[in-house]
Amino acid sequence: MIVPIKYNLRNLFQRKLRTILTILGIAGSIAIFIAVMAFSEGMVKSFKKTGSEDNIVVIQKGAFSQSLSSIPKSSRNVIQYLPHIKKLNGIELVSPEVSIEPWVSVPSKGLNDIFMMVRGVKPIFFDVVNKIRISDSKELRNNHAIIGRLAQHKLGSVQVGDQIKIFDEMWTINGVFEAEGSSFESLIIVDIDDLLRASNREEYSSYTVKVDSLNNIDSLIKLIEDDRRFLLSAIPEIEYYTESGMLFNIVRTVGIAIGIIISIGSIFGGMNTMYTSIANRIREIGTLRAIGFSRVSILISFIIESLIIALIGGMLGILVGYFVNGTKMNLLMSNFELRVTYKVMLTGLFLSFVIGFFGGLLPARQASKLKIIDAIKHV
Amino acid sequence: MKFLPFIMKNIFRNKKHMILSVSALAMPVFVILLLLSIEEGFKTLINSTDELILNTYEKGNACVVSSRIFDSYKKKIEAFDGIKKVTGVLRDLFTYQKMDNTVFLTGVNYDEFKTIKKINIIDGSEDNFKKNSDGALVGKRLVNQYGWKVGQRVSMIQYNVDFLINGIFESTDKTYEGNVLVHKEYLSQKRNEEGKSTYFIIQVENASMISPISNQIDSLFANFPKPTKTQSEKDSKENELRDFQEIRKMLSILIFATIIVSIFVATNNISMALRERIVEIGTMRSIGFSKRQIFFIFITESLLLAIIGTIIGMSIAVAILITGRSLSGYIPLVINSILLVKTLSIAILIGFLGGLFPMISAARLSIVNSLKIID
């Protein structure tokens, strides 16, 4: 026979202040946990979503990233005529790119020296990297730029028609684009030759190449890496961006560790509440036992009570934590939005379950072990 | 003071409560100290810069590793009045074993570099480093990060770079303690970047010259193939770390949230402890304890619990932090007495605020009512 849940619910209302404080404590921990998870989720997602399965990134052999890689322009003739490259209207889908991280100023907003990622591209870029959605003009020549949604935020919400300053030259914003939440949304995209001139560079940084069939990816990579004329590395695009994201793993690790430690603190808090709650009800427990409820029913009953508190706290915490959803964060190459996804919310709920279960387990065990006589005698 | 034995007895009376209350506070205290330590790490990087030093980078380039200027600029800079020393540094980013183990390699002309930046060898031999073209001196923060030893040969994932660790050093400039110093010649050969530097370190005679000299340098190279940007070492460090501002803001919000949560938990714990003792309070009142004395006894008890929790939480944090850990070798985790005092004050605040409301209501209870309560 199970102790009716009504009994537990009534108990919670009996000790309102204590119940509310425990719920608030758990809600706070879960809210902190949701915030750090949303941070980690947003950061990882933005990198994982970047790239297409049939694209590969070609960089200087051994280079850490596109912006630390330089490849002579003449390599384009070599790459372009390799087999297995997809063609569109007879043109090979090979996009040479220059990646630089310059200080950018927005004179109209009085903003100076903002760390941005700028990519110089040719028009073919938009056929190779086909995630970029833009309703405005894609025209880049003569110092025009298009900027990603997150870049726009970092640049103080500049608008189409505004001017920004990169390498002492003024660039007019022609459009704002979205890229399915990928890290491309942090980019300022300009014409490759304009950028080479403005930055006094002569070499490309990388190529993005579209393969004609997924089966040929490995052979194309091998052909590029085996070429003796230029020392190059080729990496599937998705893998490249996922690895770039690993640079910030430490920030995630610390965040998640903090969330977990605070939740453990919460378990102790919950346990304390349940112990007191039980200590105050010893005679009641004796009575319950005397009228026929088994030890197991008592155990289950108290765990359920603790779970109710924890889950209410958890849901409240998720609700509060949800407010961080969509907050934009800037961290060098990693600009992203905090994302309270279903996964994050479910993890939060699961954690509150864990808090409730373990917070209730030991006290409930103690309650179920009481001898009827002792319990009823207790004053 | 005369109540102290009584208070101590009370604390230890219900051990289970005590342990749980203390642990419930120790956890957040641990987190708070850790977060404060990260923030302090950022500050240390900025504050350990030298006020007589300027840094010259490639103009417009925000990336601290991809900036390149020509070594040929050095002679021209040395010719200015008021300049004591100039040295070029080539820096590049590498990874060790896996992509999230970042390592900054700083290629220096060691004899020049050492006269500007204080390098104190704590293990190994400086002479061996000078003799070995592929030798390296590793900052102590990085050594802690990866567990490297003197005599070990370490390979980077990129550019076939491998170096022999000849020594471990400390420096007054905490940035370099997270770097590997190698010979500039070695790094520029591996990277095929002979004749280039990432930045110059320039020592001037006095602080008033920083701004005029910066302007002179930058206007001289304004029309060169690589124009320059010169500023004080502190300003350039602040610029470098500026993109971490939002993370730092988030850290402060986390600290604040943790404090609030802890206050709830503490209030709850104390109000429960008091509830159990209402009859006792009634008895104490009836044998002559004043409301004020009762308030004092219980607030001291609550503060003592907070302090015990804090000491435990802080000890765990200190045990971890004292090993000289860091975030990827880049941001040091700093621990000092000011941080400890700060954390302790926060904990006392938590204990006090947590105890305040339950205590006031307990002290206000009339004697008759508190004695009447059974169960």
Cβ pair A68:B31 closer than 8 A: no
The interface residues of chain A toward chain B in range 124-163, judged by CB-CB distance below 8 A, are none
pLDDT at A49 over 80: no
CB A351 within 8 A of CB A357: no
CA distance B52 to chain A (A): 23
Q: Residue B313 corresponds to which tokens in the numbers above?
A: 């939480």
Q: What is the pLDDT of residues B10-44, one digit of tens each?
A: 777 778 788 888 888 898 899 899 999 999 999 99
The interface residues of chain B toward chain A in range 106-135, judged by CB-CB distance below 8 A, are none
Cβ pair A280:B275 closer than 8 A: yes
Q: Could you tell me if A16 lies within 8 Å of chain B, comparing CB atoms?
A: no
CB A324 within 8 A of CB A38: yes
CB A113 within 8 A of CB B62: yes
**Residue A79: its H or E element:** helix A75-80
CB A147 within 8 A of CB A176: yes
User: How many C-beta atoms surround the C-beta of residue A136 within 10 A?
Assistant: 13
Q: Residue B191 corresponds to which tokens in the numbers above?
A: 């990277």
DSSP A2: P
pLDDT band at B55 (very low <50, low <70, confident <90, very high): very high
pLDDT at B374 over 60: no
CB A305 within 8 A of CB A8: yes
Instruction: Identify the burial level of A198 via C-beta atoms within 10 angstroms of its C-beta, where 0-12 means exposed, 13-18 middle and 19 or more buried.
Output: buried
Cβ pair B17:A272 closer than 8 A: yes
**Radius of gyration, alpha carbons of chain B:** 29
- For residues A227-255, b (16+ Cβ closer than 10 Å) or e, as one string? eeeeebbbbbbbebbbbbbbbbbbbbebb
Q: What is the pLDDT of residues B273-300, one digit of tens each?
A: 777 778 888 888 888 888 888 888 888 8
Cβ pair B60:A199 closer than 8 A: yes
Which whole number is the average pLDDT over A86-107?
Answer: 93
Query: Chain B residue with minimal CA distance to A251?
Result: B327
Q: What is the pLDDT of residues A183-193, one digit of tens each?
A: 899 999 999 99
ipTM of predicted complex: 0.82
Q: What is the pLDDT of residues A214-249, one digit of tens each?
A: 999 999 999 999 988 888 999 999 888 888 777 777
The interface residues of chain A toward chain B in range 98-117, judged by CB-CB distance below 8 A, are 100-104, 113, 115-116
Distances (CA, A) of B210 to B52, B89, B213, B354: 7, 20, 5, 51
CA distance A228 to chain B (A): 16
Distances (CA, A) of B249 to A236, A258, A339, B244, B300: 35, 16, 18, 9, 34
The interface residues of chain B toward chain A in range 31-70, judged by CB-CB distance below 8 A, are 31, 34-35, 38, 59-63, 65-66
Note the pLDDT of residue A100. 94
End-to-end CA gap in chain A = 27
**What residues of chain A lie within 8 A of the CB of B272, using their CB?**
18, 272-273, 276
Q: What is the pLDDT of residues B312-328, one digit of tens each?
A: 999 999 998 888 788 87
Contacts of residue B221, defined as CB under 8 A and 6 or more positions apart, other chains included, come to B69, B73, B76, B227, B228
3-class DSSP assignment, residue A51: coil
CA distance B207 to chain A (A): 24
pLDDT at B178 over 80: yes
Q: Residue B237 corresponds to which tokens in the numbers above?
A: 């460090």
Pairing of strands B331-332, B326-327: antiparallel
**What residues of chain A lie within 8 A of the CB of B265, using their CB?**
21, 25, 265-266, 269
**Residue position matching structure tokens 């002309």:** B109
Q: Residue B78 corresponds to which tokens in the numbers above?
A: 């040395």
Query: Chain B residue with minimal CA distance to A34?
Result: B254
Distances (CA, A) of B283 to A296, B286, B368: 38, 5, 10
Q: What is the pLDDT of residues B85-103, one digit of tens each?
A: 999 999 998 889 887 788 9
How large a percentage of chain B has pLDDT more than 90? 47
What's the one-letter identity of residue A336?
A: F
How large a percentage of chain B has pLDDT more than 70? 99
pLDDT band at A336 (very low <50, low <70, confident <90, very high): confident
CB A285 within 8 A of CB A277: no
CA distance B228 to chain A (A): 11
DSSP states of B180-209 as a string?
EEEEHHHHHHHHT-TTEESEEEEEESSGGG
Which whole number is the average pLDDT over A70-92?
Answer: 90
The interface residues of chain A toward chain B in range 192-251, judged by CB-CB distance below 8 A, are 199-200, 243, 246-247, 249-251
pLDDT band at A360 (very low <50, low <70, confident <90, very high): confident
What's the one-letter identity of residue A299?
A: L
Mean pLDDT of chain B: 88
Which whole number is the average pLDDT over A117-125?
Answer: 94
Task: Compare B5 and B372 and report the one with higher pLDDT.
Answer: B5
Q: Could you tell me if A329 lies within 8 Å of chain B, comparing CB atoms?
A: yes
Note the pLDDT of residue B375. 46
Q: Could you tell me if A166 lies within 8 Å of chain B, comparing CB atoms?
A: yes
DSSP A214: G
Report d(CA A80, CA A76) in Å as an integer.
Answer: 6
**What residues of chain A lie within 8 A of the CB of B59, using their CB?**
167-168
Size of interface A-B (CB pairs under 8 A): 167
User: How many C-beta atoms surround the C-beta of residue A117 within 10 A?
Assistant: 26
Sign of the C-alpha dihedral, residues A260, A261, A264, A266?
negative
Which of A10-14, A172-176, B192-196 holds the top average pLDDT?
Answer: A172-176
Q: What is the pLDDT of residues A52-63, one digit of tens each?
A: 899 999 999 878
Note the pLDDT of residue A46. 78
CB B171 within 8 A of CB B117: yes
Distances (CA, A) of A302 to A118, A133, A201, A265: 59, 55, 71, 20
Write down the H helix ranges in chain B.
4-13, 15-47, 73-78, 110-116, 126-131, 140-146, 184-191, 210-220, 233-241, 245-276, 278-286, 291-321, 337-364, 367-372
Which whole number is the average pLDDT over B325-347?
Answer: 88
E strand map for A61-110: 87-88, 91-92, 94-100, 103-106
Note the pLDDT of residue A274. 78
Note the pLDDT of residue A379. 62
pLDDT band at A194 (very low <50, low <70, confident <90, very high): very high
- Which residue of B23, B258, B265 is the best one to mutate when testing the A interface, meaning the one whose CB has the most A CBs within 10 A? B265
The interface residues of chain B toward chain A in range 319-358, judged by CB-CB distance below 8 A, are 327-328
Which whole number is the average pLDDT over A312-327?
Answer: 93
Long-range own/partner contacts, residues A231-235 (CB < 8 A, 24 or more apart): A231/A60, A231/A61, A231/A62, A232/A58, A232/A59, A232/A60, A232/A61, A232/A71, A232/A75, A233/A58, A233/A59, A233/A60, A233/A61, A233/A62, A233/A63, A234/A56, A234/A57, A234/A58, A234/A209, A235/A56, A235/A57, A235/A59
Residues in chain A: 379
Task: Compare A264 and B71 and report the one with higher pLDDT.
Answer: B71
- Residue A170: beta bridge partners? A165
Directed axis angle between helix B233-241 and helix B15-47, to 10°? 130
CB B327 within 8 A of CB B41: yes
pLDDT at B156 over 60: yes
Partner-chain residue, chosen from A25, A63, A168, that has the shortest CB–CB distance to B261: A25
Task: Compare B155 and A181 and report the one with higher pLDDT.
Answer: B155
Q: Residue B222 corresponds to which tokens in the numbers above?
A: 């304004």
Q: What is the pLDDT of residues A7-41, one digit of tens each?
A: 888 888 877 877 888 898 889 889 988 988 898 88
Q: Residue A219 corresponds to which tokens in the numbers above?
A: 């052979």
Cβ pair B271:A17 closer than 8 A: yes
Closest residue by Cα to residue B107 from B187, B195, B170, B163: B187
What's the one-letter identity of residue A110?
A: G
CB A166 within 8 A of CB A104: yes
Cβ pair A18:B268 closer than 8 A: yes
Report d(CA B28, CA A236) in Å as an integer.
Answer: 43
Cβ pair B20:A269 closer than 8 A: yes
Note the pLDDT of residue B373. 63
Which whole number is the average pLDDT over A329-334?
Answer: 75
- Which residue of B13, B27, B146 is the best one to mutate when testing the A interface, meaning the one whose CB has the most A CBs within 10 A? B27
CA distance A318 to chain B (A): 14
**Residue position matching structure tokens 């930045």:** B199
Long-range own/partner contacts, residues B204-211 (CB < 8 A, 24 or more apart): B204/B52, B204/B53, B204/B54, B204/B82, B204/B83, B204/B84, B205/B52, B205/B82, B205/B83, B205/B84, B206/B52, B206/B82, B207/B51, B207/B52, B209/B82, B210/B51, B210/B52, B210/B54
CB A207 within 8 A of CB A94: yes
DSSP states of B139-159 as a string?
EHHHHHHHT--TT-EEE-SST
Cβ pair A250:B327 closer than 8 A: yes
Closest residue by Cα to residue B193 from B236, B170, B161, B235: B161
